[in-house]
Structure 1
Amino acid sequence: MPTAVNLKSVTNNVGWSVLSKTSTFGLKFVTVPILARILSPQEFGVVAVAQTVVMFLTMIGSAGLSASLILEAEEDDETVHSVFWVNLAVAIAMAACIYLWADSFAGFLGAADAGYLLKIMAFLIPLQLAGDVAYSLLARRLAFQKDAAWSVVSESIGALTAVGMALAGFGVWSLIGQLFVSAIVRLGGLFYASGYRPRFVLSMAKVGALTKYSLGIMGSEIFNFITFQSPLVVVSRHLGLADAGAYSAANRFSSIPNQVLLAGLMGVLFPVFSHMSNDTRRRSDALMLSTQVSTVVLAPMMFGIWAIAEPGMLLIFGQQWAYAWPVLGLLAVSKGIMSPCSTYIPFLKGAGRSGVLWWVAVLRAGLVYGLVSYGVMTGGLVAAMVWLCVANAITLVFYSWAVFRTNGTAFLSGLYVTTRPMIAAIIMAVAVRFLIDHIKTGLPGGASANAIWQVLVGAAAGAAIYGVLLLLTERDLLRKLVELIRQRKAQPAGAGS
């Protein structure tokens, strides 16, 4: 591989990647509540349903061939150009299918009014897939600072476009404008940052050599997409666009901490684990450490959102969305349960185990779809979110078993070590929720001011409680991190792996 991997190079790239995701999702933290106060739940719902189809086909198109370039020992120009043209041809074919059968897709998803939006959003697919090869070249070179800069620029311009159009009265078109502007800017930025310029070179033999791995990745991404998007489809079909809009708004917000860390880690760890393909001990140590650290950071955020969901929903989204606070809280819990799994996908991809990824994704998709559907039909939106939590708890167990088996780690000890920070986060969240329930009537101000106080007190108490629990339960991990920080300061970024 062209770039040496050591502690400093990995942490530098994780830092850049997380910084970009923090910036872009920080924009969502600001823009989603603004747009939620301007637009109606129905408008959010119709765009969310239409975007589901586009995201699904984009994920299929980008999952395999471009990712396989990261595992290649060398950057072969013929292979790179061939993957670009095959990706582009697939993207155009997918866009044409959406455009021609947009009304049928929308009707199937329970949102017949979204057909006209689907026709327009079909053009997003070539815009998004055309940059995949350029991104893969940056990833294999561990040049995430370049990708980070263009991610921030594209998302910032898109967010400003959305808010400006919404304030100008464009309604649902403000969300469409955000998607297109961000996609166009990011595409140009990726080509500029990577230096990649497509040439018409096509070797189907080169593409064929990548298909075994890429088909496994593509299959897993299809079922991962079903996992992530099926709740929205089920809610839309059975409960209507208003509940779909409530789910979409709550899911967008509760996903911010999750996606900041996951997107930042997964993008970097995949090429890092692939660099370590010939050093299984080193890769195993990296898996356990990165899983522990990601859980320590992510779990308290997600369970903390559950603890302050009621005042938080009112404060951030406004009175018209306040009724949906249980949805926000339960969605955060469902994501918090999966926090130890943050590193599993990049580990399996980097280890070349696309087959394991595929069958785990199939099992998870079936669980989520089945249990959420049961919840919707028996108890409505809140019950569906409870069953989503149950599905994710089951997924955590069998996903951990599959990864630890691949890694050669004892299942029970591995599960205990990686979930211990999550258990501490759950204890913290329950304590904060108990505290808020008993002091909220005594806090000053009207409804909005009282909600602010609840959030502030809850956040301060949660940080203090979780800090104490970490000192009690994760002293070995904290000592290891301090030692790694010292090693990092003494290690030049360009040192050998």
Structure 2
Amino acid sequence: MAEKTLKEKTAQGLMWGGISNGIQQLLNLIFGIFLARLLSPTDYGMVGMLAIFTALASTLQESGFTMALTNKKDVAHRDFNAVFWFSTLTGCCLYTILFFCAPLIANFYHQSELIPLARFLFLGFLISSTGIAHHAVIYRNLFVKQKALAQMIGLFVSGVTGVIMAFNGMAYWGIATQSVLYITITNGLYWFYSRWHPTFQIDFSPIRGMFAFSSKLLLTNVFTVTNNNIFSVLLGKFYSTAEVGYYSQANKWNSMGYSFINNTINGISQPILANVADEQDRQLRVFRKMLRFTAFLSFPCMLGLALVAKELIIITITGKWLSCVPIMQLLCLWGAFFPITSLYSNLLISKGKSDVYMWNTILMGALQIATMILCYPYGIMTMLSIYVLINICWIASWQYFVHAEIGLKWIHSLKDIGSFMLIAATTIGVTYWITLPITNVYVLIISKIIIAALIYCAVMVLSRAVVFKECVSFILSKKPKR
């Protein structure tokens, strides 16, 4: 791939990724506001208790094959066909097991209503198992536009359905139906846009060739999913359903924030980095550019979200959700670093170091889980603070392994990340101080957003930040010529 073509594909991928994720987060925001106003924290808690089971099942059926197919130099129909049948059969087996385990799950949480809810919600990963190979085709070939359209259509139709059901008094069934319907529509469109179809010539031999790489990703993803959902399990076991709901709501807002940046970068980072994996100097340049762009977006967005969290919650989903504000603000600190950690891990995967990625993630997850289990008697905020602190500090471990692979120096990564982090934190601090006298909640949130944006952009201009100039130039170049 020529340099010009690589740049064009990267720019186009970022553009479509940004448009897609921007629209998706806007739709998530709109539908989330309606649902949160119609439903109670307990309703969200019911679905939140099952999140870890759904996520683990989805991870097991995918088994890291998307990344394995992306990293593989030469792929053929038989590779995708093997993945399709393996993931579909795995999905069927897992659904059957969890279907009969639903009473045990309900008994663990002391909620008998979870039995039918679990059996319905688990249909989501069964359906998604039939689209893993198709998603791999789209991901490997950087069909970012097609993926964006599939996700936006799925989100709109499922969101409208969920709101209608909640409005008609169907409570948590509206959230569950929204989830299952989104997966169904999105996977159906993956089939349509990928233009690839499975055949009945079933041959699992390609799976054996990919499993050495994908199995490490599988174990890693299992630990990551467990780590990300352990809060819901602990809260559901030791606290009230409402507290699970507060955490789920806070985590949803945090996810909407960092997912915009992470999904935009993730949609192109691993394929691009894998494409230049044989040219270390070039890969280092590409990676540093991505790192600066990620930090440039992530810190102001996520710290800004923490700044307006209280006003945002009051205006959008009313004061009944105020208890989730401090949880949301702490999660936003972790969310600011999440896309950076994801970029580091994608670099290691592109170099074929799935074992390093696996063990580093497992060690971090094991430390977090053990610490949170020990600290749960001291309250939610204590557990959450430790969780966030470990996530932030662990980036030093990712840096160590990336340095070993491509020679990224600590001073360079600190410069690439730290400068944007410091500017964003200072911007948020100054904005908070300036807006202290304002009491009207609507004026306050608008003032915070405008002042913070003006200060951040002004500093970017004055410091002559290259990434800011490139973003402005790219946006201007896309304007139609008169």
* Mapping for residues 79-228 of structure 1, pairs under 5 Å: 79-108=79-108, 113-228=113-228
Show the counterpart of 2:426.
427
Task: Return the alpha-carbon distance in structure 2 between the equivalents of residues 475 and 259 of structure 1.
Answer: 24
Residues 474, 374 of structure 1: alpha-carbon distance in 2 compared, 3 angstrom cutoff? farther
Residue 245 (structure 2) pairs with residue 255 (structure 1): no
Show the counterpart of 1:22.
22
CA contact (8 A) 1:375 1:386 kept: no
Residue 461 (structure 2) pairs with residue 463 (structure 1): no
Aligned amino acid, residue 98 of structure 1: L
Q: Secondary structure at the match of 1:197?
A: coil
Residues 370, 469 of structure 1: alpha-carbon distance in 2 compared, 3 angstrom cutoff? farther
Q: Secondary structure at the match of 1:223?
A: helix
Deviation at 1:358, TM superposition (A): 0.5
Task: Return the alpha-carbon distance in structure 2 between the equivalents of residues 368 and 477 of structure 1.
Answer: 34
Residues 484, 407 of structure 1: alpha-carbon distance in 2 compared, 3 angstrom cutoff? farther
Task: Return the alpha-carbon distance in structure 1 between the equivalents of residues 34 and 287 of structure 2.
Answer: 39
Deviation at 1:137, TM superposition (A): 0.7
Show the counterpart of 2:41.
41
Deviation at 1:10, TM superposition (A): 1.4
Residues 480, 205 of structure 1: alpha-carbon distance in 2 compared, 3 angstrom cutoff? same
Task: Return the alpha-carbon distance in structure 2 between the equivalents of residues 106 and 312 of structure 1.
Answer: 34
Deviation at 1:375, TM superposition (A): 4.5
Aligned amino acid, residue 183 of structure 2: A
Residue 324 (structure 2) pairs with residue 324 (structure 1): yes
Q: Secondary structure at the match of 2:394?
A: helix
CA contact (8 A) 1:258 1:335 kept: yes
Aligned amino acid, residue 457 of structure 2: G
CA contact (8 A) 2:431 2:448 kept: yes
Show the counterpart of 2:437.
439
CA contact (8 A) 1:20 1:149 kept: yes
Show the counterpart of 1:283.
283
Aligned amino acid, residue 80 of structure 2: V
Task: Return the alpha-carbon distance in structure 2 between the equivalents of residues 468 and 375 of structure 1.
Answer: 43
Task: Return the alpha-carbon distance in structure 1 between the equivalents of residues 2 and 214 of structure 2.
Answer: 22
Give TM-score, length-normalised by structure 2.
Answer: 0.93
Task: Return the alpha-carbon distance in structure 2 between the equivalents of residues 187 and 389 of structure 1.
Answer: 33
Q: Secondary structure at the match of 1:142?
A: coil
Which deviates the most, 360-369 or 472-481? 472-481
Deviation at 1:418, TM superposition (A): 2.0
Aligned amino acid, residue 120 of structure 2: I
Task: Return the alpha-carbon distance in structure 2 between the equivalents of residues 71 and 329 of structure 1.
Answer: 37
Task: Return the alpha-carbon distance in structure 1 between the equivalents of residues 475 and 431 of structure 2.
Answer: 32
Task: Return the alpha-carbon distance in structure 1 between the equivalents of residues 238 and 156 of structure 2.
Answer: 35
Aligned amino acid, residue 251 of structure 1: N
* Mapping for residues 57-96 of structure 1, pairs under 5 Å: 57-96=57-96
Task: Return the alpha-carbon distance in structure 2 between the equivalents of residues 6 and 180 of structure 1.
Answer: 36
Deviation at 1:473, TM superposition (A): 4.8
Aligned amino acid, residue 397 of structure 2: F
Q: Secondary structure at the match of 1:439?
A: coil
Deviation at 1:458, TM superposition (A): 0.9
Show the counterpart of 1:415.
414
Task: Return the alpha-carbon distance in structure 1 between the equivalents of residues 124 and 406 of structure 2.
Answer: 38
Task: Return the alpha-carbon distance in structure 2 between the equivalents of residues 155 and 485 of structure 1.
Answer: 26
Residue 451 (structure 2) pairs with residue 453 (structure 1): no
Count of aligned residue pairs for this structure pair: 478
Show the counterpart of 1:233.
233
CA contact (8 A) 1:60 1:218 kept: yes
In structure 2, runs of 5+ residues without a counterpart are none
Q: Secondary structure at the match of 1:26?
A: helix
Task: Return the alpha-carbon distance in structure 1 between the equivalents of residues 422 and 107 of structure 2.
Answer: 42
Aligned amino acid, residue 76 of structure 1: A
Deviation at 1:412, TM superposition (A): 3.5
Residues 338, 85 of structure 1: alpha-carbon distance in 2 compared, 3 angstrom cutoff? closer
Give TM-score, length-normalised by structure 1.
Answer: 0.90
Q: Secondary structure at the match of 2:160?
A: helix
CA contact (8 A) 1:405 1:411 kept: no
CA contact (8 A) 2:44 2:248 kept: yes
Task: Return the alpha-carbon distance in structure 2 between the equivalents of residues 109 and 370 of structure 1.
Answer: 21
Among all aligned residue pairs of Structure 1 and Structure 2, give the percentage whose two residues are the same amino acid.
17
